[in-house]
Structures are given as C-alpha cells and as structure tokens.
Amino acid sequence: MTIDYSRSKKLRAEYLAKHLEKLFPKMPIPLDHTDPYTLLIAVLLSAQCTDERVNQVTPQLFTKAITPQQMVKLSVEQIQQIIRPCGLSLQKAKAIHQLSKILIEKHNSQVPANLEQLESLPGVGHKTASVVMAQAFGEPSFPVDTHIHRLAQAWGLSSGKNVTQTEKDLKKLFARNLWNKLHLQIIFYGRQYCTARQCDGQSCQVCQLFFPNRKKPKQIKRA
C-alpha cells in the first residue's frame, strides 16, 4: 500500500523523524567549542557566515581569549582584526566585547542557562540563544535558520512567513525530546540533499516522496 504523504502533515513529520535518524544517527555539533562561552562566541560569529569559516577563525581568537575576562582585555579593534573573515566584523567585535563585560558584571563570568537572559546580551538573538540552550545546556530548543525555514515550507510542515512562526509550527509537530537533534539533522539534510540550488521542492528524495504530483517549483516565503 502506497502512503500518500501529501495529505497528512503528521505522516510527513513521522517519516522525517525516522528517515533523518537513519541518515544522521550521530549528530556532531558543527561549531568547535570547549564550553558554553566559546560556543556562544562561535554561534554569534556564524551569523551570515559558514560554520567552516567560523571554525577556521575561532582557534586564533580563543588562543588569545577563551574567557570573558581575557576577552575584555582585548580591544574591539583587536577582536575585529581576528574575526574579519567572518563578515560584519565590527558589529560582531563590539558585541563580543560588550557581552563579555556583561557576563563578568552580571553573571559571575558564566553564560546564563536562561533563554531570556541570553537574548538580552548584545548580538544574541533568539536563534543564537536557542542554539546555546540546546547545545551547551541540553535544553529542548528548535533553532530555526533560513535553511530550516526553507525546508519546512518545501516539505509542507509550515507556511509561516518568518522563522518565528516556523519554529512554533515545528515544535507542535515533533516530540520535545527530538528538537535538539532534529534541527541539526534537518540542516545537514538540506546541505547534502536539498540545497536551495539543487532542489526547488521537486528534486530531492523527500520532496519527491511527499509531493510526487507537484508540477511547479515550491515558492518559499522568505524569512
């Protein structure tokens, strides 16, 4: 009996959870880090930058400063010079310096394991905070970037006009204990099998399985 996945969002979600677990049973964290602080800095640097580039830059930065106390001893200009390959270097350097100072003054030099407190730090938006909560503290989170937003629409899991709505939709569909690993699995699937250039909602295995009768490219609502 052939299953018609196009008719059921629930069936599509159930298939994805099992299929992605088979493809990516072990999910390494893409950004190199040693503790919550270095993860926070790495995630901040990854905005509009590839994980690969961040991992090339952070060793030099962390050789000079691997704690908030060490980081504030560097000038914004020194930080900027090191992280320049990551793009938006001045903006990111200021945020790194300022948030390090705040961690010292308000959080005993520790990264808070609290979403709202993380989001209050300079340069730390909801997605960055969610990644830190998930990967540093193991708290169930479903960080949604532009790639997950695109795939969620291609797979008919969300019609949200922004990442905020997409995150809400995905959290309703998938069990809470799957969130942390699943968001990485979706990202890796998108990078390997369903890139924006290679698949327009009709080409990859999952898109074909879910919507075999789709005649036109899937129009994605940009985040």
Is residue 145 among the annotated active site residues? Answer: yes
CB 127 within 8 A of CB 145: yes
What is 67-127 written as a DSSP string?
SHHHHHHS-HHHHHHHHGGGS-HHHHHHHHHHHHHHHHHHSTTS--S-HHHHHTSTT--HH
Active-site hit among 127, 169, 215, 221: 127
Q: Exposure of 72 by Cβ count < 10 A (0-12 exposed, 13-18 middle, 19+ buried)?
A: buried
φ, ψ at 40 (rounded to 5°): -60, -45
Q: Please state whether 3 falls in left (phi above 0), alpha (psi between -120 and 50) or beta.
A: beta
DSSP 218: P
Catalytic residue among 18, 73, 145, 216: 145
168 is catalytic: no
Q: Which residues are catalytic?
A: 127, 145
